[in-house]
Amino acid sequence: MEYLPNVIFVLVLAGAIGLFAKNVGKLRRNIFLGQKVDRSDQKSERWKMMGLVALGQTKMVVRPIAGFLHIIVYLGFIIINIEVLEIVLDGILGTHRLFAFLGGVYDFLIGSFEILAFLVVVSVVVFWLRRNSLKLARFVKPEMKGWPKNDANLILYIEVVLMGLFLTMNAADYQLQQMGSEHYVEAGSFPISSFIAQGLAGWSESSLILLERACWWLHIIGILSFLNYLYYSKHLHIILAFPNTWYAKLQPAGEINNLESVTQEVKMMMDPSADPFAAPAEDSGADVDDPGTFGAKDVQDLNWVQLMNAYTCTECGRCTSECPANQTGKLLSPRKIMMDTRDRLEEVGKVLDANKGEWKDDGKNLLDDYITREELWACTTCNACTQACPIGIDPLSIIVDMRRYLVMEESAAPNDLNVMMGNVENNGAPWPFNQMDRLNWANES
């Protein structure tokens, strides 16, 4: 019976890690349903990007208030994980405050954790007020109704509860240390929980032990539960922000990639020695270049970095608030583009799960069933959304690929665009004038 709590803890820990590994496997499978793309170039620039944007939070502080508060929560999450490490080891080994031998360093760490925990609670309260009382415009857009709003609030509630359990656990521990209770050696500094401990002054030793143990168990189980909740939450960016920034596009924001198959076709057209009517050399053993689908109709047509972008989206709405089309009342919301892509990808994953990994057409597509054509054509391709994203997500690339599908596979461009492309083809310019008449205006008196 002495080791029963340790056995239970190990089983709980193993179960949580196993479920997390299963979710990671599903996440990886879904992301790599996308087309291949090589983002292994300029490694030094990529490490720099990840360090500055994901770790350094440089794009968060563009909006100082939200950025500063986010950094507090971020630091709290990172640093308090050191405390979680001690809790996990204590649970496995049956010890209590295993790192207490560090002396003054341990006192400093626990004191820092407590101050950060308190600041996290303050920041979370401000975040909740911004979302629910002030109702900032970017948090009340149509795509934020229902689960997205509930998910954002649930995360805030979880963070308050976890920090509250941590501080209450320390308060009970502090009281037990003052009482000289067995196993509760004097260790740590408690600048915040010592105030909470004043309300526990009249508690008996057994009640304090029960409170401390209950908070200890609830705190660690809450953290393990939160770890597995990440897959279903916008907070998946806690994990994916790092690879997402590393694999981000490094080319100039306004540079749109060309389709290789189209590039080869243009090169052949410009080669006077090429025979455009020559049949592919099928019998020669050479590989025949099959362009496949032009653009993207469904998530499988996008590349895997774009799919990772969708899972990484924080739903902060900075992209949508900067979008000129959205500001003028158009239907387009870059945030919705990413959320729709993620939702469709999850739906595709469920089809694969139901059919043991085999894809069976479910009669749906990202185009039309999730993202409308009106949204796609409202985009001005200004790249404001990509520039605004604090973790390097590129909604524009998805919009452009879906437009390509409409133009090149369905010939479904808006009439004005079709007229312009016809003029380019016939007149060599977007204007409806013959090349010979283009300068007639200069001769007019």
Q: Where are the alpha helices (DSSP H) in 247-298?
A: 260-269
Do 302 and 415 sit in the same domain of this protein?
yes
Do 242 and 296 sit in the same domain of this protein?
no
pLDDT at 43: 93
Contact 66, 131 (CB under 8 A): no
Do 264 and 211 sit in the same domain of this protein?
no
147-199 confidence digits (pLDDT tens)? 999 999 999 999 999 999 999 999 999 999 988 888 888 888 899 999 999 88
Contact 184, 176 (CB under 8 A): yes
195-221 confidence digits (pLDDT tens)? 999 888 889 999 999 999 999 999 999
- Does 306 fall in a domain? yes
101-122 confidence digits (pLDDT tens)? 888 988 998 898 899 999 999 9
Do 173 and 137 sit in the same domain of this protein?
yes
pLDDT at 431: 83
Do 264 and 231 sit in the same domain of this protein?
no
Do 265 and 226 sit in the same domain of this protein?
no
> Around Cβ 108, how many Cβ atoms within 10 Å?
13
Sequence-distant (≥ 6) Cβ neighbours of residue 322 within 8 angstroms: 384, 385, 387, 388
Do 300 and 404 sit in the same domain of this protein?
yes
pLDDT at 275: 72
- Does 251 fall in a domain? no
Q: Give the count of domains, the chain.
A: 2
Do 220 and 332 sit in the same domain of this protein?
no
Cα 81 to Cα 117, 123, 224: the distances in Å are 12, 18, 12
Calpha distance 285→290 (Å, rounded) = 15
pLDDT at 202: 85
pLDDT at 285: 46
Q: Give the domain extent around 337.
A: 260-273+292-434
Q: 225 pLDDT band (50/70/90 cuts)?
A: very high
Range ranked top by mean pLDDT from 59-68, 83-92, 260-269, 329-338: 329-338
- Does 95 fall in a domain? yes
Burial of 227 (0-12, 13-18, 19+ CB in 10 A): middle
Do 103 and 234 sit in the same domain of this protein?
yes
Q: Which of 302, 245, 396, 341 is nearest to 37 (CA)?
A: 302
Q: Which of 262, 258, 257, 256 is nearest to 289 (CA)?
A: 262
pLDDT at 1: 65
- Does 310 fall in a domain? yes
Do 163 and 227 sit in the same domain of this protein?
yes
332-374 confidence digits (pLDDT tens)? 999 999 999 999 999 999 999 999 889 999 999 999 999 999 9
- Does 323 fall in a domain? yes
Q: What is the mean pLDDT of the chain?
A: 89
Asked if residue 142 has pLDDT above 50, the reply is: yes
229-248 confidence digits (pLDDT tens)? 999 999 899 899 999 999 99
CATH code: domain of residue 379? 1.10.1060
- Does 439 fall in a domain? no
- Does 56 fall in a domain? no
pLDDT at 274: 73
At 293, list the tokens: 């689908």
pLDDT at 366: 97
Do 325 and 221 sit in the same domain of this protein?
no
Question: For a pLDDT cut of 70, what percent of the chain falls above it?
Answer: 96
Do 81 and 201 sit in the same domain of this protein?
yes
- Does 53 fall in a domain? no
Asked if residue 71 has pLDDT above 60, the reply is: yes
Q: 284 pLDDT band (50/70/90 cuts)?
A: very low
pTM equals 0.87
369-406 confidence digits (pLDDT tens)? 999 999 999 999 999 999 999 999 999 999 999 999 99
Phi-psi region of 210 (alpha: psi -120 to 50; beta: other; left: phi over 0): alpha
